[in-house]
Amino acid sequence: ATDNAVGLTRRGYAYFTKSPETLARAAADCARLAAADPANMPLRRHAGFLGDDYAPIDPGFSDCGRLEELPRGFDLLEGAAVRAAFPAVADDVVGCVHARRAGWVSAQQFGAELVNAARALGAEFVTGADVVGVDVVAGAVDGVWVERDGRRERWGADAFVNASGPNLNAVH
């Protein structure tokens, strides 16, 4: 319901190699992943030429409601098939694994959407206050003690989110 406000793209990732040994290991890894997938993820091999089952990347695709139209699984491209799909790739590249339906979002837009959604549900964001304690009653948050402008006060709360960052032992 965000109309792709997070900038999701699902064009896949392409991993290139100049090493035949690395390509062989990648092919084996893809085959293991495909075999382990209960939904029968396909592994398509293209050696020397692109088959009809290779779907090129559509750079304009951004409709998250149409993800089922995108290819699933992996395309393993070897030799000339690599340059047929990716013309700018150097001649010494021997292979490529094109992981389909992989993608990324804009971290800034994603964060903004999370903030907007939380506010719509009643969340309040507070800055300039140090959390000095959290009251817990029967295993659930009951309130938060903060210090702001030299005063200590208690705020009633039924939830508390520590968004102070990774590897911090205290909320600042």
Token pair listed for 15: 């991993």
Q: What values do phi and psi take at 46, rounded to 5?
A: -130, 100
Q: Residue 147's pLDDT is what?
A: 92
Token pair listed for 154: 């208690």
Contact partners, residue 16, CB within 8 Å, separation at least 6: 82, 86, 89, 93, 95, 96
Q: Residue 15's pLDDT is what?
A: 93
Per-residue pLDDT of the chain (172 residues; tens, 9 = 90+): 566 677 667 678 899 999 999 999 999 999 998 889 888 888 999 988 887 888 877 766 666 666 677 788 889 999 999 999 999 999 999 999 998 877 777 888 888 888 999 999 988 887 888 888 999 999 999 999 999 899 999 999 888 887 777 766 666 5
Q: Residue 63's pLDDT is what?
A: 61
Note the pTM of the prediction, 2 decimals. Answer: 0.59
Contact partners, residue 57, CB within 8 Å, separation at least 6: 11, 12
Token pair listed for 79: 């030799």
How buried is residue 95: exposed, middle or buried, by Cβ count under 10 Å (0-12/13-18/19+)?
A: buried
Q: What is the distance between the alpha carbons of residues 5 and 168, in angstroms, rounded to a whole number?
A: 31
Q: What values do phi and psi take at 146, rounded to 5?
A: -130, 155
